[in-house]
Amino acid sequence: SQQGEEDPQALSIQEGENATMNCSYKTSINNLQWYRQNSGRGLVHLILIRSNEREKHSGRLRVTLDTSKKSSSLLITASRAADTASYFCATDAWSLRASGYSTLTFGKGTMLLVSP
């Protein structure tokens, strides 16, 4: 399966600390995306990094991609209680089922708890 797997499954930190989540995948990808989900709500897109990019920043978010290791990391700096959510990586790769199409496959997520 080309599904990404996040690590750790759960992470608990204090406000102000940095949070790092990792994602590993198995096949070559076109891009990798990170999403956030507040409890029971729809996912919200955070950042997209293409296979030819190594690092990307957006506000307090920093994403790295290492295609040789087939892994990515999401760093949230100076975390806040409002960052409490589940974080998912999603890999976009050419479909094994439908020639000429790519599919986006989500991992199972990392649950982040930021305590005040």
Residues interacting with other proteins, by CB under 8 A? Answer: 3, 30-31, 33, 35, 40-45, 48, 88, 90, 92, 97-98, 101-109
β-strand pairing of 55-58 with 44-50 = unpaired
6 token code pair:
């996040």
Q: Which is nearer to other proteins, 37 or 64 (CB)?
A: 37
Q: How far is the CB of 14 from other proteins (least distance, A)?
A: 27
Q: How far is the CB of 5 from other proteins (least distance, A)?
A: 9
Q: Which is nearer to other proteins, 3 or 64 (CB)?
A: 3
Q: How far is the CB of 47 from other proteins (least distance, A)?
A: 9
70 token code pair:
């087939």
E-strand stretches of 1-109: 5-7, 10-14, 19-24, 31-37, 44-50, 55-58, 61-66, 71-76, 85-94, 102-106
